Amino acid sequence: MKSEAFPSIVRLPLEVLEVFIDFSSVSTQLSISRVSRLFNSLTLRALYRNISLYSPAVVVACCQTLASNRNAATTVRSFVISYNHYSPALLASYYSIIKKALQSLNNLHTLKLLVNDPYFVTLLSRCNFSRLRHFECYLTPSTPLIEFLNRHSRIYYLQVSPNENTTESLPDDGSGSNTLPALELPRLQYFSGNVQNVSFLGTTNTLRAAILSWNAMETDPDMAFQALQRSCCDSLNLLSCRRRGWNQDLIESISIRLPDLVSLLISNVLLVDEPLSEDYLQAIKAYLPRFTQLQRLHIVCIDYFEMGDISSPIDKELSIVTTWGAACPSLAEISLPHSKGLCWYKIADNVWIPDPKHTLGGQWLYDTVVLKRHPGWKTIVDGLNDSPPSSSAGIVNSSAYTNTIAVVRRHLGGLLKKEGTEQKSTTYISSTDPGALSGDLSSDTSDHEESRER
């Protein structure tokens, strides 16, 4: 009778118990694991589902557990090793225990080896993860690494080292002929790495996003974009590039080879920062009409030595954004160099406003609405309705855009309400103040009337 009045917690569905355990702290989970075999098996999933290791000592302790505990190893879905320092004095047994642990992870979905240790590539030689989808490492492409990747055809996200590989011969004509095998990942959608690695991607992938970097070696940008054009021109939507200089030639090559991009991000790494030149602005304006569906353009400057603090007047940014928007009507979002993170959004036909959540954008928006300084301020007010503009204006009907417009609309609604109240108050005072209607009254009468009004 007593047990029926107070049912045991073990009678709850296992899914409910797992939710309770997932929301518990690690120390609580460790305590729960000692209650019974049932709770031990349930807490194993929560404790070992996602593993992140941030020092060699922790790596050794955890890998020893995984190598000796099969139940714990089979619950691992994400395995991350990440630490900054690399010591060449690590013994062979260190890599041996990691390799043994990796080979026991049969249900692994995500693997990240974020250590600048070239010896880590040897750990992958005999590893096969039938469910691997996501792989990140700081290894440069080599024959062992590409052979490992080609064994895992389900990978859709790949990140390799942003640095160049100087140990093996490289293609010099963009044809892809080199000593390294081609990378055959038919489900690959996201790639991040050095531009040198683009020639290894092969022609069977359907890339949606590529993040490329140039570091020590200068590589002809047109060669890389030509390779992307051959392999994934129809599927590529986002391209992000990081390179020294202002990269005017890079943007020109992209506009020719990949005109169907939706998002373009350019990071200019500058040793000595400098303001935008008129020639640069005009050059970008000339390249933009080649893009057929570009909607987001972000150009940022990275001051390598952080010696300068260059800022751009917001009214000048408005002029630049309006000019570029006219050159590429599909643009809906623009971020300019030296803008302190400010982003501009198009809300109507080439009518742009800054992000109201940004400090500079919010202040400018307030001054614009109250003082009516924006040439299209009426369009701004009328255009902020509940539904986004039509696709003909170059705006994407996305939740992110809708949320941004909702914030702008709320800001403008409050400002316009405040402005209307002030105007009504001014009109009432002007109509009832006798001093404003008759200039002959004495100062005593004016003082009396002002007091009466108050």
233 in the same domain as 102: no
118 in the same domain as 44: no
Taking a C-beta distance cutoff of 8 angstroms, is the pair 121, 139 a contact? yes
Q: Is residue 265 situated within a structural domain?
A: yes
Q: Is residue 305 situated within a structural domain?
A: yes
297 in the same domain as 191: yes
Q: Is residue 177 situated within a structural domain?
A: no
Q: Is residue 226 situated within a structural domain?
A: yes
State if pTM tops 0.85: no
Q: Which domain holds residue 17?
A: 11-48
Report DSSP state, residue 173. S
Taking a C-beta distance cutoff of 8 angstroms, is the pair 344, 321 a contact? yes
Q: Is residue 327 situated within a structural domain?
A: yes
| Domain CATH code at residue 315 | 3.80.10
Q: Is residue 433 situated within a structural domain?
A: no
Q: Which two tokens stand for residue 336?
A: 């300019």
Report DSSP state, residue 106. T
94 in the same domain as 31: no
329 in the same domain as 271: yes
Total structural domains within the chain: 4
217 in the same domain as 77: no
The whole-angstrom separation of Cα 59 and Cα 291 is 48
Which of 307, 322, 341 lies at the terminal end of a domain, its last residue? 341
194 in the same domain as 316: yes
Q: Where are the alpha helices (DSSP H) in 104-233?
A: 143-150, 221-232
187 in the same domain as 268: yes
Q: Is residue 435 situated within a structural domain?
A: no
293 in the same domain as 377: no
Q: Which two tokens stand for residue 312?
A: 């751009």
353: exposed, middle or buried (Cβ count in 10 Å: 0-12, 13-18, 19+): buried
From the list 57, 58, 56, 76, the residue with the least C-alpha distance to 66 is: 76
pLDDT, one tens digit for every residue, the chain (454 residues)? 454 554 577 777 877 877 777 777 777 877 877 787 777 777 878 888 899 999 999 999 999 999 998 888 999 999 999 998 777 767 889 999 999 999 999 999 999 999 988 889 999 988 999 999 999 999 988 889 999 999 999 999 999 998 877 665 444 434 444 577 888 888 999 999 998 888 788 766 688 999 999 876 667 788 888 888 887 767 899 999 999 889 999 999 999 999 999 999 999 988 877 888 899 999 999 999 999 999 999 999 888 766 667 878 888 999 999 999 999 999 999 999 988 889 999 887 888 888 888 888 888 877 776 666 666 666 666 655 544 544 444 444 455 555 555 655 565 555 555 555 554 444 443 444 434 323 432 334 344 344 444 3
Q: Is residue 447 situated within a structural domain?
A: no
Q: Which two tokens stand for residue 276?
A: 């935008």
Which residues make beta-bridge pairs with 134?
Answer: 110, 157
